Structure formats: structure tokens, C-alpha cells
Chains A and B, each alone.
Chain A
Amino acid sequence: MSIQSDAFLCGWRVQSEICLPELLPWEDPGAAVDIHIRLGEVPPLAKIAASTRRLTVDDAGVCRLEIPNVVTFSVRDGREIVVDPIASPDPFEVRNYLFGTALGLVCHQRGVFPLHGSCLQLGEWAVIFSGNSGSGKSTLAAALAHRGYTLMADDVCVITNTDRGWVVWPAFPRVKLMPASLQAIFGVEAEQAGFSLQGKHHFRFEPVRSFQMNPVPLQAIYFLERTQNEEPDSIVDIPGLKRLALLESQIFRPRAAAALGRRASLFRSAAEIAATVPIFELRRNFDLKRIGATMAMLEGAHRVPASSFSHSG
């Protein structure tokens, strides 16, 4: 097989034998390849040291991830992914797992912190919206991207500690949305929206000119909470221990991390993040008609001039 994609993902150069149209092309031909993705058979592991529902891990930390009726992956050293799809795969679905759990495994093998959430660039800073599934992360991210801010990641935010503090590595400019959000934010009916999977439509922001390939300093993490009735939106400080517990609760693929022996290390990272990155609860109403007020509140909190980003659409 030949290379179908030479692309950027979270700062890594990815060369892949399967086409990865979601990713932006890699720009520096002289750089070393960080992650090789190839097609091949993925037999069961010879020696299983740990396992979860779909994952087995051997004592060298090689992972075998089996998604029934879709694809099986082997992920090794955070550097090599072997993709073994079923006979007539939906390539879109295969990529959804590649950019989901398989990416999570790469993160845990490489020892970076993957936080479940969506990330936007507001001004010079990255801001992460985290929280449980269904808390409105992607909807808020899509609304902010539609307003003109740069979407950095949806679902998995790769963050690392540098001498400049914690930074977020951009993934790719795609967001997964439920039909109601799609309609409310973009005025697009579900039938017109192209790809959908598990009830969510995958929406790529075009043009992607503002998408950058550099890590962005992390300014704040918001954990989303849904409010009831007439409670106004608010940004609430969180005490230190709860910050840690919330961060830990949103580590991407925590059972895989534990199987890879990453539990204690992730706890230490979460504590460092809790100690150094401002973390808040963002209490907001789910009424999509009120999302403009939520965004204005965030723009005020981050002192980004709303007018310069306002979208014509």
C-alpha cells in the first residue's frame, strides 16, 4: 500500500495508508514521521497482561482494540497503528474510531494528557470546554467556531506541560453535532449535512484558514453544567480538590490508561493542571436560542473583542 495521507494531528506527523481527509496536510517534508498508520492483519495478542471490554494489552504495552463489525486496531509505542477493517468497511466509521479510542491509546502510550472536551482558540489562548457526554461541549464549540473563533479539537484535547506552562495541541477542525444543534447554529437540516454516525453529524469548518498547527497556551478549562429554568448563565470558581476530581473524571479513555499503567502518572498531571490552570464551572441553559448570551459572557471573561470576530452568517 502507498501513503494516502501525510498529515498533521496534535503536533504529530502522521503518514497513513488509509486516507484521512479530516486532517490538515503536513507542511515540513524534512520532519520525522511520528505516527505510521498502515493496513494489515491484527491477530489476537500472544500474552495478555490487561484487558477491558474491547481492549487487550500485552506486557510490552502493545494494544489491540477490537470494534465488532467495524475494525480492529493494533497500537504500539504511540508510533504505529495497524488498521484491520472488516470486509466492506465504512471508512468514515473506521476513522471515527481511529480519531477516538485509537488516538486515546496513542496519547496514553506517549504519556500525554488527553482531556475529554472541545477546544477553541480565543485570542491568543486556548480554552477547553469539558464535561460529561451530553453536556453541550460540541454545541458550544460549534457556535463559537461559527462566530469566527478557531476550533482546535472536538472530543479529545491533547495537552502537555512545557516551559511556557500547559499547552493544547490542535487536532483538526471538525465537530460532531446532534441535528438540533446543527439546525440552530448553522441553519442546516440534518438531511443536508453529509456524514452522520450514531445520531451525530460530523461538521467540518470551511475554510480552515485560521486553523493553526502550533500548540496554544491553555488559559482556562470550563466544566459545563446545565441549568434549569430562568437561572442566568454564570462562571463559577471551583475549589482545588473538586478541580482535580473533575479533571480525573474527564480523562479520555481512563480504563485504557489504567490498563497501560498510567493511573498514577495521570493523577499527578491532573493535580498539576488543577494547581496551575484556571478551572471553572460554566453554568448555562440548554436553550439553543440563548447560546449567544453564553458566548458574550465568555468573550467578556476572556476579553476578546466580540465585534472583530462577528460572523456575517
Chain B
Amino acid sequence: MPPAHQGIEIEDTVTWNGKALASEIGGEVVLMNLERGYYYSLDDIGSEIWRSLEHPVSVASLCQSLAAKYHAELSTVTADVLTLLNKLLEHDLISVVGG
């Protein structure tokens, strides 16, 4: 059994874990976990977040840039981003760097 993840926090740095195949259909990112054989699709913003995870990125700076770009409250963006990132982690599509 792999160790249970602790969940992603604002101070973490995250990136793709190399287990997902990704492509795009109509501007939306579609993902498949190679080991589990499940398919996922992300909405516009989710797709943008996925693309930004190609290289390790800190969750805090990701949230700040999204909040600035979409003129949104940082606290709202942070909550939404953490929800998505933890879903991606749960489905073994990303990993925490050094985590």
C-alpha cells in the first residue's frame, strides 16, 4: 500500500507526477491515469491550472497569479485551487515536490 497522502496545503509545491496521459478536447484538458485506467476532464480554469503544473509550482504563487488574472478574492481562489489540487492528488495525477 502506498502511504496515505496528507493533503496539499498552501505552502506546498506541486507538479505532474508522470502517471497521467493528458491531451485536449475542445480546449478542455482530458486526463487518464495510466495505472488505474480512469479518465478525467477539467473545465477551463481547471485546464489552465493543470497546464501550469507541468513544472513544480508553489500553490501560493499559483493562487496569487490566478486571483490577479481573474480579479478574484485570493481566499476564494485559494479554497478552489486547493480543492482541485487535492482531487488531482487523490486520483494520483500530481505529486507534492519533496512531500
Contacts and interface: CB of A to CB of B under 8 A. Distances in A.
B25 A241 contact: yes
Nearest to A271: B23
Contacts, number: 36
A243 B25 contact: yes
A272 interface: yes
B26 A240 contact: yes
A221 interface: no
B23 A241 contact: no
Interface in A154-187: none
Interface in B5-39: 21, 23-26, 28, 30, 32, 34, 39
A240 B41 contact: yes
Interface residues of B, number: 12
A240 B23 contact: no
B23 A272 contact: yes
Contacts of B25: 240-241, 243-244, 271, 274-275
B20 to A, nearest CB: 10
Contacts of B28: 240
Interface size class of A (residues with CB under 8 A): 10 to 19
A99 interface: no
Interface in A254-309: 263-264, 267-268, 270-272, 274-275
The A contact surface, by secondary structure, is helix
Contacts of B34: 263
A271 B39 CA distance: 12
Interface of B: 21, 23-26, 28, 30, 32, 34, 39-41
30 contacts: A240-B25, A240-B26, A240-B28, A240-B30, A240-B41, A241-B30, A241-B39, A241-B40, A241-B41, A243-B25, A244-B23, A244-B25, A244-B30, A244-B39, A245-B39, A248-B32, A263-B34, A264-B21, A267-B23, A267-B32, A268-B23, A270-B23, A271-B24, A271-B25, A271-B30, A272-B23, A274-B25, A274-B30, A275-B25, A275-B26
